[in-house]
Amino acid sequence: MSNSNMFSGKVVLITGASSGIGAATAIHFASEGASLALTGRNTQNLEEIARKCEENKGVKTITIVADLNVEDDIKNIVERTINTFGKLDILVNNAGIFKIGTLEETSVQDYDAVFSTNIRSVYILTKLVVPYLEKTKGNIVNVSSLAGTRPLPGLIVYCMAKAALNQFTKCLAVELAAKQIRVNSVNPGTIDTDIFRRAGMNDEENKQYLARGKAIHPLGRVGQPEEVAMSIAFLASSQASFTTGETLAVDGGRNIVCPR
Ligand code: NAD
């Protein structure tokens, strides 16, 4: 935490803020003085993150419980944010689900679930907030993945959805440049969160997956949610004022190596 108030006066909307990378991002933005609209599905966890954010003097948060697969819930996220704060400066499209499986192992229901959460909801939410970002000359940071640029074996549906998110980031950056709205993504490697357990790994499988992460990231370890949060904040800040359409690897060098 730097407490430099870099985001003082800014309103930041974060999806999937109740855990993992989203929660770390909320706490980081709060430490920099931002006001926060935090959305997720778990009320108790959201309230807990909001409480941590408000430990920073003057930081105001609202929590909005929403299922991003439900269009009316997405509309409610935007309405509550604007009704409360009157504006929006930064959208962090972070929420997402992980699905393990090859083409032969996954079903069309798996495909629909991953695309609905990881890309369809991003399209809908972003469309609704662009008019507000236009007023503030704000920006968007999408939480994509190494899986969006590199085919990771046995993760076909997830890789496809993150590839779509990368292209969404670049297309939208070009579309919105005239409005001075920047659009970027972070593309993490393996980060130590609950996403793998939520995708069905048991504790032992999760442990093995993270242990293997040490071998396949050149920096010799998996990443922590706070490291992704800092990169998101950088892209969202005026320090990145001439950067748009960037898909920033936050992966300990994993995307640049080939197996040998
Ligand atoms: P996580 O499971 O802790 O967080 C995901 C968040 O998304 C949760 O808060 C969850 O409630 C929310 N979410 C999922 N489906 C939702 C829905 N239908 N409606 C509303 N909220 C929903 O995992 P995480 O690792 O923090 O993941 C955050 C993002 O980072 C995801 O987009 C993920 O794909 C991406 N990512 C994670 C890793 C990693 O290794 N952990 C690597 C690359 C990218």
Q: What is the pLDDT of residues 131-174, one digit of tens each?
A: 999 999 999 999 999 999 999 999 999 999 999 999 999 999 99
Fold classification of 11-195+224-250 (topology level): Rossmann fold (3.40.50)
What's residue 50's pLDDT? 98
Nearest 5°: phi and psi at 58?
A: 80, -5
Atom in ligand 1 nearest the alpha carbon of residue 195: 2
Q: Mean pLDDT, to the nearest integer, of 219-237?
A: 98
Residue 244: which pLDDT band, with cuts at 50, 70 and 90? very high
What's residue 256's pLDDT? 97
Alpha carbons 238 and 253: distance in angstroms, whole number: 25
- Say how many C-beta atoms besides its own lie within 10 A of residue 234's C-beta: 16
The verdict on the CB of residue 105 being under 6 Å from ligand 1 is no
The verdict on the CB of residue 35 being under 6 Å from ligand 1 is no
8-state DSSP, 237: S
Domain borders along the chain are 11-195+224-250
What's residue 2's pLDDT? 53
Span from the CA of 178 to the centroid of ligand 1 (angstroms): 31
What's residue 205's pLDDT? 94
Catalytic, 209? Answer: no
The verdict on the CB of residue 244 being under 6 Å from ligand 1 is no
Q: Are 226 and 191 in contact (CB under 8 A)?
A: no
pTM above 0.85, yes or no: yes
Atom in ligand 1 nearest the alpha carbon of residue 18: 9
The verdict on the CB of residue 135 being under 6 Å from ligand 1 is no
Please give the order of strands across the beta sheet that includes 247-250.
61-65, 35-40, 11-15, 90-93, 139-143, 182-188, 247-250
8-state DSSP, 191: B
